[in-house]
Amino acid sequence: MSEIISIDEIKNGTVLAEDIRNKYGQLLISAETVLNEKHVRLLKTWGISVISIVVNGKEKVMITEVEKEQKKKELLKEIGWEVDNQFEEDLINMAVEHKLEQIKFYERKSSNT
């Protein structure tokens, strides 16, 4: 899994997920490099502000069925739909999982800093 972050968020041990190239296509830092302060300076020099980093699987957020049901009710109320078929059910489930994952992600982020 990878995640896109701002270079200000680089911490010790952050691992790059994809090659970084400058605007001429030259390789600056290759994927899987463990980033340090020198790399951050290099990125700043080239005006690169966001990078894609590796996210460990163990940090994956857990979402319970109860939370899903609750969020689903909220969402349906907000958009004013009644679910009529399996496709709409699927659409709503997709949105619910996404929203919950984002909420948990930000909660974890703010508790880390």
Q: For binding to another protein (CB under 8 A), which residues are involved?
A: 2, 4, 23-25, 47-48, 50, 52, 79-82, 84-88, 90-95, 97-98
Q: Distance of CA 28 to CAs 3, 16, 105, Å?
A: 19, 12, 29
| Closest to 67 measured CA to CA, from 92, 101, 91 | 101
Distance CA 99, CA 93 (A): 10
Measured from the CB atom, is 13 or 47 closer to another protein? 47
Please, what is the minimum distance in Å from the beta carbon of residue 22 to another protein? Answer: 10
Measured from the CB atom, is 12 or 65 closer to another protein? 65
Please, what is the minimum distance in Å from the beta carbon of residue 36 to another protein? Answer: 23
Measured from the CB atom, is 66 or 79 closer to another protein? 79
What the block records as the tokens of 49 is: 């502000």
∠ CA(9), CA(111), CA(42), 5° rounding?
5
Please, what is the minimum distance in Å from the beta carbon of residue 71 to another protein? Answer: 12
